[in-house]
Structure 1
Amino acid sequence: MNHQSDQYYINKVLEGRVNAFSVLVERYQGLVYTIVYRMVKNKEQAEEVAQDSFVKAYKSLKNYRGDAKFSTWLYTIAYRKSLDAIKASKRMITSELIEEVSEGEMELVGDALNYLQVKERKKIISDSIMKLPEDEAAIITLYYFEEKSVKEIVEIVNLTADNVKIKLYRSRKKLYSVLKHHISPEISSKNGRAI
């Protein structure tokens, strides 16, 4: 039913058919909420920031030039709204102490994740991402879950490509550090070692 392109609905909204915007909201509300929630780390605040992001997108739609995908433009708004909310709340979000991991351990993460059940894995990964600093949680989410390219992430978070790559690398290491407490018993039992 809603198989038209984003631009089709944008044009309808700009022509005065404001209800067409609801299709765009439907398409992207889950993804926007996920990014916002992983940054602000509070469900109620995430709902509010996600809603504010759509309101800003609607009000700014006439300024959307189409240089980037609509989703990239929308994620940029959500990312910046999240940063504003974090600053406004003036609360210190403390990340758990995340230990450094060696390069050898990094290679184990791919195999080890296969040992976790699918639902459990999603929950554990989501909870682990929540332990990362806000900007890193957003970048990991955009890259792995929204499948955005480094170039698109650069546009969203307003960092250089090198900075995004460095943050991705560091975030993966931190994420593995958090995840290895869940997967180490699985690795040990598969290798025949005592847990």
Structure 2
Amino acid sequence: MTTDQETAIINQIIEGNTQAFAVLVDRYKDLVFTLALRMLKNREEAEEVSQDTFIKVYKALAKFKGDSKLSTWVYKVAYNTCLDSIKKNKNRYNEVTIDSFSEHQLKTVGNALDVLEEKEQQKTIQECLQQLTSKDSFLLTLFYFEELSLEEISKVVNMEANTVKVNIHRARKRLGNILKQKLEPETIQNYERARS
């Protein structure tokens, strides 16, 4: 959506055009839900937060200044709504410690991923992302799946771009550790099947 299209939709929504708001919701609903699910790790909570996000977007749209892209602003509203939900429910999520990773270990993880079929890779990565903390999963989703720049992510999560970069690097290491633990048994099984 171009800036002009965004501006036109925003103006139509502010004037009370519900169909224009439906277009905005339709455009961002899947992503908002995915981000909420990554952070909250609970389908019902993610659905509730997604709805809350769009209610907040609707109410605050007149205050949107256009300093960033509309999508970045919507992600930020979703992120803050998720944080509010986490605080409210005081959920605790699994934390994975960072193990020291050598270049060889990272190559082994990469080689193990090559063994899996593409659909299995996606499923495995999604399962492993669920094991990360909310913040790590959220950052990796924005950076790798939504392909937001470090600057755009920094606006969403209110961090300096360099801090975002460091957090993404650490999250990748954690994800690599989880993938390694998951893939080693599968790689061994695939190897044994191939030999028999």
**What's the TM-score bracket when you normalise by the shorter of the two chains?**
0.7 to 0.9
1:106 deviates by 2.0
Instruction: State the aligned residue count.
Output: 190
Q: What are the equivalent positions in structure 2 for 1:94-105 lying under 5 Å apart?
A: 94-96=94-96, 99-105=99-105
**Alignment partners' CA distance in 1, 2:188 and 2:31:** 32
Query: Residue 52 and residue 110 in structure 1: after superposition, are their counterparts in 2 closer, same or farther (change >3 A)?
Result: same
User: 1:43 and 2:37 equivalent?
Assistant: no
Preserved contact between residue 100 and residue 177 of structure 1 (Cα < 8 Å): no
Give the residue type in structure 1 aligned to 2:179: L
Q: What are the equivalent positions in structure 2 for 1:85-124 lying under 5 Å apart?
A: 85-96=85-96, 99-124=99-124
User: 1:71 and 2:71 equivalent?
Assistant: yes
- For structure 1, the 5+ residue unaligned runs are none
**Alignment partners' CA distance in 2, 1:171 and 1:39:** 13
Preserved contact between residue 36 and residue 82 of structure 1 (Cα < 8 Å): yes
Preserved contact between residue 100 and residue 174 of structure 1 (Cα < 8 Å): no
**Alignment partners' CA distance in 1, 2:189 and 2:98:** 21
1:103 deviates by 3.0
Query: Residue 188 and residue 87 in structure 1: after superposition, are their counterparts in 2 closer, same or farther (change >3 A)?
Result: same
Q: TM-score, normalised by structure 1?
A: 0.88
1:97 deviates by 5.4
1:90 deviates by 1.3
What is the aligned-residue RMSD (CA, Å)? 2.3
Preserved contact between residue 128 and residue 178 of structure 1 (Cα < 8 Å): yes
Q: What are the equivalent positions in structure 2 for 1:15-54 lying under 5 Å apart?
A: 15-54=15-54
- For structure 2, the 5+ residue unaligned runs are none
Query: Residue 187 and residue 110 in structure 1: after superposition, are their counterparts in 2 closer, same or farther (change >3 A)?
Result: farther
SS in 2 for 1:171: helix
Give 1 or 2: higher helix fraction: 2
Q: What are the equivalent positions in structure 2 for 1:170-181 lying under 5 Å apart?
A: 170-181=170-181
Q: Structure 1 stretch 10-19 or stretch 163-172: which is displaced more?
A: 10-19
Percent sequence identity over matched residues?
A: 41
Give the residue type in structure 2 aligned to 1:61: L
Preserved contact between residue 39 and residue 135 of structure 1 (Cα < 8 Å): yes
User: 1:131 and 2:131 equivalent?
Assistant: yes
Query: Residue 91 and residue 189 in structure 1: after superposition, are their counterparts in 2 closer, same or farther (change >3 A)?
Result: closer
**Alignment partners' CA distance in 2, 1:41 and 1:75:** 17
